[in-house]
């Protein structure tokens, strides 16, 4: 209110000053005496309308009332000036005519623009209402560059994101149900067979127990992976960071996986840069990432192929690790999707040798939680997955 009044006083002073400069001090004082109360009254009226806007009703009515105040101010100003200054009725008539005409046209122009703006507001409201009722195929489609168009674009982008996330969530639930159903169905069949006394001898019993155990193991591994992924994605990180010698960790992981690689006749070895700096990381989690990547590499590399794990300093303050294989590689159309949960290159029904499609998404969540990044690098043949971790600042290797 104070600012409004100060503005009205300033405007009146300017008007009075202008009148004094052009027509002398008497005209200046008269103008000031007319403009000052008029300006203050307008400011009071406008503030009263703004303060009561929620009670007045829609924007249409609020703008209408403000326009009425502006029109009343114009009418009073013209009326008073005409009464005080014009001697000829003829001149007064035309001054009122012109003021009335321009005032009406301005109100009309204001109303036209206001109507357009209100139509845009209505489009946003209708879209949000439909989104609230569950629809995701609606858009405001507002064109232009003003604030309302930007609001419409933001709403449209939000609805698109919601639609995308809902599709992804539905896909995720379908994948989870499918992967849970497969071992559960096997378990039910095995248990039914035992129940129906179909298991005749000890050897058959051992075989059934082994198959039950495999399915139970698959179920608990899947549930554990899912739990881990949802924890990581919600930012619930419970591990502690420490100084990790990545070269030692890489060697340890390779040694642990060697029997698995040997069984498939795949050679695995490390190429480690000398004097590699330590990383600030959680060793168990990084080992889990290395395990996922090396397991993938072995799984997709035919016999007599090889897997190499390289670790070297990257740009300032980071260490880069690469797991490269001479295997089948990943086709172009799948490269963008391998880090999505449940994305698998091939369709299969069990989690025996092939996985659930969670390894890379868990690895990405772990690396990102460390402040690093993981990506599929270009490779002439086979596959190369790389990730970067921040190294311990200012610490030489050993």
Residues forming contacts to Mg ion in the complex (CB under 5 A) are: 296, 355, 359
SS3 of 70-127: the string is HHHHHHHHHHHHHHHHCCCHHHHHHHHHHHHHHHHHHHHHHHHHHHHHHHHHHHHHHH
Structure tokens, 259: 């029997």
Task: Give 152 or 341: the residue with its C-beta nearer to Mg ion.
Answer: 341
Q: Considering only residues 4, 37, 100, 345, which one is a binding residue for ligand ATP as defined by CB under 6 A?
A: 345
Task: Give 139 or 344: the residue with its C-beta nearer to Mg ion.
Answer: 344
Q: Considering only residues 15, 305, 359, 372, which one is a binding residue for ligand ATP as defined by CB under 6 A?
A: 359
The interface region with ligand ATP, picked from 87-95, 123-131, 260-268, 296-304 by CB under 6 A, is 296-304
Enumerate the β-bridge partners of residue 65: none
Taking the C-alpha atoms of residue 268 and residue 231, their distance in angstroms, rounded to an integer, is 32
Task: Give 320 or 325: the residue with its C-beta nearer to ligand ATP.
Answer: 325
Residues making up the chain, counted from first to last = 398
* Shortest Å distance, C-beta 341 to Mg ion: 12
Q: Considering only residues 300, 370, 386, 388, which one is a binding residue for ligand ATP as defined by CB under 6 A?
A: 300
Write the binding mask 177 to 196 for ligand ATP: x where contact by CB under 6 A, - elsewhere.
--------------------
Taking the C-alpha atoms of residue 313 and residue 334, their distance in angstroms, rounded to an integer, is 29
* Shortest Å distance, C-beta 359 to Mg ion: 3
Q: How many residues bind ligand ATP (CB under 6 A)?
A: 22
- If one asks whether residue 296 binds ligand ATP (CB under 6 A), the answer comes out as yes
- If one asks whether residue 360 binds ligand ATP (CB under 6 A), the answer comes out as yes
- If one asks whether residue 357 binds ligand ATP (CB under 6 A), the answer comes out as yes
- If one asks whether residue 327 binds ligand ATP (CB under 6 A), the answer comes out as yes
C-alpha distances (whole Å) from 175 to each of 13, 221, 275, 327, 348 are: 74, 15, 44, 27, 12
Taking the C-alpha atoms of residue 209 and residue 193, their distance in angstroms, rounded to an integer, is 12
Taking the C-alpha atoms of residue 301 and residue 257, their distance in angstroms, rounded to an integer, is 14
Residue 391 is classified by DSSP as B
Write the binding mask 77 to 96 for ligand ATP: x where contact by CB under 6 A, - elsewhere.
--------------------
Q: Which residue is nearest to ligand ATP (CB)?
A: 355
* Shortest Å distance, C-beta 353 to ligand ATP: 9
Contacting residues for 145 by C-beta, under 8 A, at least 6 apart: none
Contacting residues for 131 by C-beta, under 8 A, at least 6 apart: 138, 159, 162
* Shortest Å distance, C-beta 246 to ligand ATP: 20
Question: Footprint of ligand ATP on this chain (CB under 6 A)?
Answer: 292, 296-297, 300, 325, 327-330, 338, 343-345, 354-361, 383
């Amino acid at each position: 209110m104070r600012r409004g009044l100060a503005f009205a006083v300033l405007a009146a002073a300017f008007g009075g000053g202008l009148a004094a400069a052009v027509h002398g001090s008497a005209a200046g004082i008269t103008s000031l005496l007319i403009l000052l109360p008029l300006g203050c009254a307008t400011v009071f009226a406008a503030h009263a309308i703004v303060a009561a806007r929620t009670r007045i009703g829609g924007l249409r009515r609020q703008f209408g009332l403000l326009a009425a105040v502006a029109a009343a101010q114009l009418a009073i100003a013209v009326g008073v000036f005409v009464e005080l200054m014009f001697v000829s009725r003829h001149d007064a008539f035309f001054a009122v005519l012109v003021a009335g005409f321009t005032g009406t046209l301005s109100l009309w122009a204001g109303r036209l623009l206001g109507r357009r703006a209100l139509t845009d507001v209505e489009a946003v409201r209708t879209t949000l209402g439909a989104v609230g009722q569950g629809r995701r195929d609606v858009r405001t489609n507002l064109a232009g560059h003003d604030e309302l168009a930007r609001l419409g674009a933001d709403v449209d982008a939000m609805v698109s994101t919601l639609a995308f996330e809902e599709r992804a969530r539905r896909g995720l639930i379908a994948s989870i149900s499918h992967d849970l159903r497969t071992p559960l169905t096997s378990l039910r069949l095995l248990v039914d067979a035992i129940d129906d006394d179909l298991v005749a001898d000890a050897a058959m019993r051992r075989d059934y127990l082994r198959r039950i155990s495999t399915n139970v193991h698959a179920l608990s591994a899947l549930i554990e992976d899912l739990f881990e992924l949802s924890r990581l994605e919600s930012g619930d990180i419970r591990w502690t960071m420490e100084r990790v010698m990545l070269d030692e960790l890489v060697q340890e992981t390779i040694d642990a996986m060697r029997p698995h690689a040997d069984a498939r006749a795949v050679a695995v070895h490390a190429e480690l840069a000398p004097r590699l700096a330590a990383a600030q990381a959680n060793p168990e989690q990084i080992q889990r990432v290395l395990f996922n990547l090396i397991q993938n590499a072995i799984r997709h590399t035919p016999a007599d192929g090889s897997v190499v794990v390289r670790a070297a300093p990257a740009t300032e303050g980071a260490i880069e690790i690469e797991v490269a294989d001479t295997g089948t590689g990943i086709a172009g159309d799948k490269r963008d999707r391998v880090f999505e949960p449940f994305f698998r290159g091939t369709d299969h029904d069990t989690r025996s040798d092939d996985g659930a499609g969670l390894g890379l998404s868990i690895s990405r969540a772990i690396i990102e939680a460390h402040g690093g990044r993981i990506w599929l690098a270009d490779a002439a043949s086979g596959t190369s997955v790389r990730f970067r971790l921040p190294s311990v600042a200012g610490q030489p290797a050993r």
